[in-house]
């Protein structure tokens, strides 16, 4: 049963009922280890193979590429950055790592840790359209650059970065390129050869898979050292007992995400646009952010200049509308917008709304009414208080 109107799907999504159902037999009945040489372990292989095929289809990966099933997108990002240090920095001395200041915590913090080991983290800023461009990356690159690590799209603003151009630049310079595709998979049409990334990571619970799931794609021919040592599981890429139930669920969630991609790109995008247009019509002072940029079909950020975003988020929460201003693994939306050139007053009044394939028209209509009422109420209160000072 749904509780409230959930518009924070860039943070996490409700686990799919089919995905959860698919994993249960592998908790209660088929609980053997695939590393074992006996029937209890070997009988699990067909289901594992099917799940891997579903994940590969979602990614658009070739059978010759490698895939590591992880406990989260954060683990996958950390493996990429740690392996770049072991496989590139240690043997060659190339010690510069590039990311953006609007990226998410795993990449920023993993690169910060490398700085304690003599590496150099270079932080690039987005342009006024919210994009990290190839030109910005080119300006940051030096002969000592080992890795460029970026999110494919920002999960709060929805803005997509020109990753194909950045990938071509990295290939020309002989630099590894990592993309976090958490917010893109199942929501954008692409061909893997046009993306050109050496590593792609994602978080499973943003795909309606259970928490504790994630993945790392490794392009054919690219070296990637293990992050967790202790065995030869997953071809030596990640030691430890397989989370078979999680893998099975992620496979089902991947299949559902692929099947729902058309729906995300059409109907959910229409609902997102409806939310924007109705709010802006009712509140003319509201500011849509990056409305004319190439962005994800399910995300919008709207600023309400007469109120602070923390106050509006709290008010919406009390009315059962769940949105976001960042936090957790995200940067604060206000800091992101200020980095993109927005005035501080506007940036600190912005709220991000992210839909899912489960979001209904009725929920959006109800959310619009609540958002408008609460923003107007807080705006009047702000003016009243301001008039007394």
Confidence at residue 354, expressed as pLDDT on a 0 to 100 scale: 98
Confidence at residue 386, expressed as pLDDT on a 0 to 100 scale: 64
Q: What percent of the chain has a predicted confidence (pLDDT) above 90?
A: 85
Confidence at residue 388, expressed as pLDDT on a 0 to 100 scale: 54
Torsion of Cα atoms, 373 then 376 then 381 then 386, to 10° = 170
All residues at 6 or more sequence positions from 248 whose CB lies less than 8 Å from its CB, including other chains: 22, 23, 26, 47, 48, 51
pLDDT digits (tens, 9 = 90+) for 18-63: 999 999 988 888 777 777 677 776 778 788 899 999 999 999 999 9
Asked whether the predicted pLDDT for residue 387 surpasses 60, the reply is no
Q: What percent of the chain has a predicted confidence (pLDDT) above 70?
A: 98
pLDDT digits (tens, 9 = 90+) for 200-225: 999 999 999 999 999 999 999 999 99
Average pLDDT in the chain: 94
Confidence at residue 37, expressed as pLDDT on a 0 to 100 scale: 78
Q: Count Cα neighbours of 389 within 13 Å in the Cβ-side half-sphere.
A: 6
Confidence at residue 2, expressed as pLDDT on a 0 to 100 scale: 56
Domains of the chain by residue range: 5-11+260-388, 17-259
pLDDT digits (tens, 9 = 90+) for 136-187: 999 999 999 999 999 999 999 999 999 999 999 999 999 999 999 999 999 9
Cα 76 from Cα 131, distance rounded (Å): 23
Cα 300 from Cα 298, distance rounded (Å): 7
Confidence at residue 293, expressed as pLDDT on a 0 to 100 scale: 93
Asked whether the predicted pLDDT for residue 283 surpasses 60, the reply is yes
Asked whether the predicted pLDDT for residue 89 surpasses 50, the reply is yes
Averaged pLDDT, 373-378? 95
- CATH 3.50.50.60 fits domain 17-259: no
pTM: 0.94
Confidence of residue 233 (pLDDT cuts 50, 70, 90): confident
Averaged pLDDT, 68-78? 96
Confidence at residue 382, expressed as pLDDT on a 0 to 100 scale: 75
Q: What is the CATH number of domain 5-11+260-388?
A: 3.90.1150.10
pLDDT digits (tens, 9 = 90+) for 311-355: 999 999 999 999 999 988 888 999 999 999 999 999 999 999 999
Confidence of residue 389 (pLDDT cuts 50, 70, 90): very low
The count of other CB atoms within 10 Å of the CB of residue 266 is 11
Cα 365 from Cα 344, distance rounded (Å): 30
All residues at 6 or more sequence positions from 142 whose CB lies less than 8 Å from its CB, including other chains: 96
Confidence at residue 1, expressed as pLDDT on a 0 to 100 scale: 44
């Amino acid at each position: 049963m749904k509780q409230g109107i959930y518009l924070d799907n860039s943070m996490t999504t409700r686990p799919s009922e089919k995905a959860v159902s698919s994993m249960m037999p592998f908790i209660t009945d088929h609980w053997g280890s695939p590393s074992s040489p006996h029937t209890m372990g070997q009988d699990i292989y067909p289901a594992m193979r099917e799940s891997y095929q579903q994940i590969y289809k979602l990614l658009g990966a070739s059978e010759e590429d490698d895939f590591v099933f992880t406990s989260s997108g954060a683990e996958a990002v950390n493996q990429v950055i740690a392996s770049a240090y072991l496989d590139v920095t240690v043997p060659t001395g190339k010690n510069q790592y590039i990311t953006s200041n609007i990226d998410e915590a795993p990449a920023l913090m993993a690169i910060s840790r490398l700085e304690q080991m003599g590496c150099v983290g270079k932080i690039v800023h987005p342009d006024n359209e919210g994009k990290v461009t190839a030109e910005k990356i080119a300006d940051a690159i030096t002969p000592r650059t080992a890795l460029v690590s970026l999110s494919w799209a920002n999960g709060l603003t929805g803005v997509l970065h020109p990753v194909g151009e950045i990938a071509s630049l990295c290939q020309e310079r002989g630099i590894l390129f990592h993309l976090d595709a958490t917010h893109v998979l199942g929501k954008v049409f692409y061909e893997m050869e046009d993306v050109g990334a050496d590593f792609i990571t994602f978080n499973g619970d943003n795909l309606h898979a259970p928490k504790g799931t994630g993945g790392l794609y490794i392009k054919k021919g690219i070296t990637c050292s293990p992050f967790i040592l202790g065995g030869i599981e997953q071809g030596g890429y990640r030691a430890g007992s397989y989370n078979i139930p999680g893998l099975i669920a992620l496979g089902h969630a991947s299949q559902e995400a692929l099947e729902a991609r058309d729906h995300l790109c059409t109907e959910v995008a229409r609902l997102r646009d409806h939310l924007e247009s109705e709010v802006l019509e009712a509140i003319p002072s509201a500011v849509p952010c990056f409305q004319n940029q190439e962005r994800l079909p399910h995300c919008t950020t709207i600023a309400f200049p007469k109120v602070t975003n923390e106050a509006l988020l709290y008010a919406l929460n009390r009315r059962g509308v769940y949105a976001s201003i960042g936090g957790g693994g995200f940067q604060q939306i206000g800091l992101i917008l200020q980095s993109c050139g927005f005035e501080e007053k506007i940036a600190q009044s912005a709220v991000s709304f992210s839909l899912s394939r489960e979001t209904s028209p009725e929920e959006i209509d109800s959310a619009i009414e609540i958002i408008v009422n609460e923003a107007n109420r807080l705006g009047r209160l702000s003016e009243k208080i301001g008039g007394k000072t």
